[in-house]
Structure 1
Amino acid sequence: MTKTKKPEFRPNEFVVYPAHGVGKIISIEEQEIAGIHLELFVISFEKDKMTLRVPTHKATEIGMRQLSTPDVVNKALDTLKGKARVKRAMWSRRAQEYEQKINSGDLLSIAEVVRDLHRTDDQREQSYSERQLYEAALERLTREVAAVSGADEAQAQKTVDSVLTSRAA
């Protein structure tokens, strides 16, 4: 009998939940739901004023993961320096792909969205939906950069901005 390896998530640890980004595990609690005893991670997303309860046995399956390593963060910042790759597909198709990348929780995919949707001042205006996707990706990236580096979000924002503006120069 092989026991499935339970992820090593602990209280007071930051984790990345694919659909919501960086959150902090505040506790692990047991609840009875519909007659079934469940062990749940209680995750707080302070900025969104949201608390999520995730069954511990489902955490890895749904893509919850630990914060990226500083190495991965550096790769993500390098991704931002690259040239935007915009497919010639219709916007609705591209928007769907960007949405999937953002919700994948994968930092490098999120960085690609930021890179591809970033506009400098002399470029054409972003549409509302482009700006929404860009800001969502940028926020996810910034929060994880902040959590990994131990800096606050404002500092992480400066780091990301400086990489994006150095690319434009």
Structure 2
Amino acid sequence: MPNKTAKPAAKATVAKPVAAKPAAKPAVTKAPAAKAPAAKPAAPKAPVAAAPAKAPVAVAKPVVKPAAAAPKVEEKKVVTQRQGFKANEFVVYPAHGVGQILAIEEQEIAGAKLELFVINFIKDKMTLRVPTAKVANVGMRKLSEPALVKRALETLKGRARVKRTMWSRRAQEYEAKINSGDIVAIAEVVRDLYRSESQPEQSYSERQLYEAALDRLSREIAVVQHSTETEAVKEIEAQLAKSPRRTGAKSEAAEGEADADAEGDSDETEGGATVADEAA
């Protein structure tokens, strides 16, 4: 009988460990609760994601710099188009001679903006507007340096070089030199077409070309030397008088007059001799 009671007691002890198993299960459920704190390391990752957001802000700064540099590029283009010409400056326009830039203005033509030089030619009473981008094409230039002006004056002293060709062809060559804007070439035209008092007079077309070349040359010399056109013309004519052709022409003319006088005297003596013979 005592043995039977002992068995149930053992069973009771066996039942206790079984009851302990369910207690272990709640420990397993606690493990997922421990994973929740693992989300805390993920929280520091959020600032790491915010760091790249600042990088675009740093990239945006260089974008502003090119915008500020753009006007500088435009200023360089304006300077290159103007070729260094400024308002109130005297320039040489090949087809019209010396003129003065009154202003630099902008005009809108056919929807496009153009920058123009406003050039005034006082003697011709004319105002010309030239696009700054076409200055090189038309041949507009600054005034000649004093050294180049001196070279042009030296050219006037040289011997005239007249080609033995038709006048129409020579006239075209002279006109091309006048409209070239080259001060030395213009001086060559003045030298070749100049006629002194002892030489035959110029034809009408020669006179026109000579006066046009003389006008272009004297105006530029006057502006460079800060003198009047009248003084410049006198200086040009003084240089032309030193030409060997002019001095030679004067000596030849003097010799011709002396020969003519000698011939006249000989004729008179011959006439007197014939009269004396007849009287005899």
Which TM-score band applies after superposition, normalised by the shorter structure?
over 0.9
Q: Tell me, in whole angstroms, the C-alpha distance in 2 between the residues paired with 1:10 and 1:142.
A: 23
Q: Alignment partner of 1:51: what SS?
A: strand
Give the % identical residues.
65
Cα drift, residue 65 of structure 1: 0.1
Write out the 4+ residue segments of structure 1 that deviate beyond 4 Å after TM superposition: none
Which residue of the partner structure matches residue 161 of structure 2?
A: 85
Q: How many residues align?
A: 169
Q: Tell me, in whole angstroms, the C-alpha distance in 1 between the residues paired with 2:195 and 2:110.
A: 50
| More divergent stretch after superposition (13-22 vs 150-159) | 150-159
Which residue of the partner structure matches residue 94 of structure 2?
A: 18
Q: Deviations over 1:1-28 (max 9, x none)?
A: xx69331111111000000000000000
Q: Which has the larger radius of gyration?
A: 2
Which residue of the partner structure matches residue 64 of structure 1?
A: 140
Q: Tell me, in whole angstroms, the C-alpha distance in 2 between the residues paired with 1:164 and 1:34.
A: 51
Q: Tell me, in whole angstroms, the C-alpha distance in 1 between the residues paired with 2:111 and 2:178.
A: 35
Q: How does 1:31-50 map to 2 (within 5 A)?
A: 31-50=107-126
Q: How does 1:106-121 map to 2 (within 5 A)?
A: 106-121=182-197
Q: Alignment partner of 1:28: what SS?
A: strand
**RMSD of the TM alignment (CA)?**
1.6
User: More helix per residue: 1 or 2?
Assistant: 2
Which residue of the partner structure matches residue 5 of structure 1?
A: 80
Q: Give the TM-score of the pair, scaled to structure 2.
A: 0.58
Q: Tell me, in whole angstroms, the C-alpha distance in 1 between the residues paired with 2:134 and 2:88.
A: 19
Q: Alignment partner of 2:185: what SS?
A: helix
Q: Tell me, in whole angstroms, the C-alpha distance in 2 between the residues paired with 1:81 and 1:22.
A: 24
Which residue of the partner structure matches residue 220 of structure 2?
A: 144
- Give ranges in structure 2 of 5+ residues lacking alignment: 1-76, 248-280
Which residue of the partner structure matches residue 229 of structure 2?
A: 153
Q: Tell me, in whole angstroms, the C-alpha distance in 2 between the residues paired with 1:166 and 1:87.
A: 22
- Give ranges in structure 1 of 5+ residues lacking alignment: none
Q: Tell me, in whole angstroms, the C-alpha distance in 2 between the residues paired with 1:87 and 1:155.
A: 31
Cα drift, residue 156 of structure 1: 1.1
Cα drift, residue 52 of structure 1: 0.3
Q: Tell me, in whole angstroms, the C-alpha distance in 2 between the residues paired with 1:35 and 1:81.
A: 54
Cα drift, residue 155 of structure 1: 1.4
Q: Alignment partner of 2:233: what SS?
A: helix
